[in-house]
Structures are given as structure tokens and as C-alpha cells.
Amino acid sequence: MQWKRRLAIGVLSLGILVGCATTGEQMATKEKSLYDRLGQKLAIEAVVDDFVTRVGRDDRINKFFQKTDAVSFKAKLVDQICEASGGPCKYTGIYKDMKTAHKGMGITDADFNALVEDLAITLDKFIQMKTITEKEKKDLLAALGPMKADIVMQ
């Protein structure tokens, strides 16, 4: 009878260990969201701050932002990136969609590409600081890229 009890305890212990190992494996293979990999909201705010400053100095495109309230624009851009990267934020712009927001602005491929170039330079800066990796840069640009169809009108 003693051996049956020990066997039962052994089988139960083995079951628990296997269950823990499986859970640990599942957790290790589950990738964090882009939002988490970027460093969450505070890190996104730092990226947006650098990016908006860079765009403001870029004579190729800063004309599109001359009448923009920088504080409000930064906050909305943070929310937009936060949401697009899988974070808890919700983008609530003045307009219901990007197409309406950019209607009549005459944004060309060259303008859009200049903006993306500025964002890439900002992200490269954060890669050099080892805040993000090349993967986060690629994933963020991929998440934001589809907006081009709603922004470029020519």
C-alpha cells in the first residue's frame, strides 16, 4: 500500500512539472506586442518628440505643419502609434479618418517619403541608443505604411 501512495505522489509531481514546463514554454514563445517592444507610452512619446522636432526643421515638408498646434499634434500622434502598435491608446483625431484629415493638402509621394525618412532617422537614433532594435523599426514602419493610400492624394 505504501508503494501505491508513493507512486501516486510521483505521478502527480511529474504531471505538475510537465504542466509548468509547458506553460513556461508557451510564455517564452509568445511574442510581446510592438507597443511593449517599443517601450510603451513613455518611449513612444520620446520618439514622437524627436520626430516632430525633426519634421519641423525639414524644409521639404514643414509647410504642411505650419498651422498645427504642436502639443495637440504630438498627443494625437502618440495615441496613433500607441494604437497601431497594439497598445491601449485610442486615436481620436479631429476627422473620422486619415483620408478626410489630409484631403486637399496636395501631399505627394515625395512629401510622404520625406516624412517616412524623418521617422526612419528618428528610429535609427533610438536604435543607436539601444532603446529599440531594427525589428521594432521595421515593424512600426510596416504598421504605419498602409496609411499612405489615405494621405497621398496625387
φ/ψ bin of 71: left (φ > 0), alpha (ψ from -120 to 50), beta (otherwise)? alpha
Q: Residue 101 has what pLDDT? A: 85
Q: Which helix (H) or strand (E) holds 51?
A: helix 40-57
Residue 5 has pLDDT above 50, yes or no: no
Grid cell in block for residue 125: 537614433
Q: For residue 114, count other CB atoms closer than 10 A to its CB.
A: 18
Q: Residue 152 has what pLDDT? A: 94
Residue 20: phi, psi to the nearest 5? -65, -40
Q: Which residue has the cell 529599440?
A: 132
Q: Residue 31 has what pLDDT? A: 83
Question: Distance (Å, rounded) from C-alpha 81 to C-alpha 89?
Answer: 9
Grid cell in block for residue 109: 509621394
Reported as a single tens digit per residue, the pLDDT across 81-129 is 999 999 999 988 777 688 888 888 899 999 999 999 999 999 999 999 9
Q: Residue 83 has what pLDDT? A: 95
Question: Distance (Å, rounded) from C-alpha 7 to C-alpha 4?
Answer: 5
User: What pTM does this model have?
Assistant: 0.78
Question: Distance (Å, rounded) from C-alpha 45 to C-alpha 51?
Answer: 10
Contact 118, 54 (CB under 8 A): yes
Reported as a single tens digit per residue, the pLDDT across 34-64 is 999 999 999 999 999 999 999 999 999 999 9
Contact 32, 38 (CB under 8 A): no
Reported as a single tens digit per residue, the pLDDT across 124-148 is 999 999 999 999 999 999 999 999 9
